[in-house]
Amino acid sequence: MSVLSQHLEDIEALFLEAGIEIFDIVPSILGGEDTVLTDRQKLVGSIVIDIGGDTTSLAVYENMHLLAVHTIALGSNDVTNDIALG
C-alpha cells in the first residue's frame, strides 16, 4: 500500500469521529480488477500494473486467486524526470 500507516490511522480516526463505520480498506490496485481482467485471465495467470505519478502498484493473479500485491516507489514522474535529464 502506498500510504504511511500514520496517515491511514488518522483517516480511520476521522471517519470514526464522524460516526462512519469502516468495514474494510482495499488497496486501489484491487478496486478495478474486474474492469481490466476477465475470469479467464485470472485463471491462467495475469499481472495488473498501475503506473501512477509517484508509485507503481502490481497485483498478481493465478487460478482465480490473488497471489501478491506490491507497491514500488517508482512512477511516471520519475521516468519523465529521467528523460528530461537525458
Q: Which has the closest alpha carbon to 60: 37, 82, 80, 35?
A: 37
The span from the CA of 58 to the CA of 46, in Å, is 10
pLDDT in tens, 32-58: 777 889 999 999 999 999 888 888 989
Count of beta carbons in the 10 Å neighbourhood of residue 38: 10
Report the mean per-residue pLDDT for the chain.
Answer: 86
Q: Tell me what pLDDT residue 4 has.
A: 62
pLDDT in tens, 53-72: 888 989 999 999 999 988 88
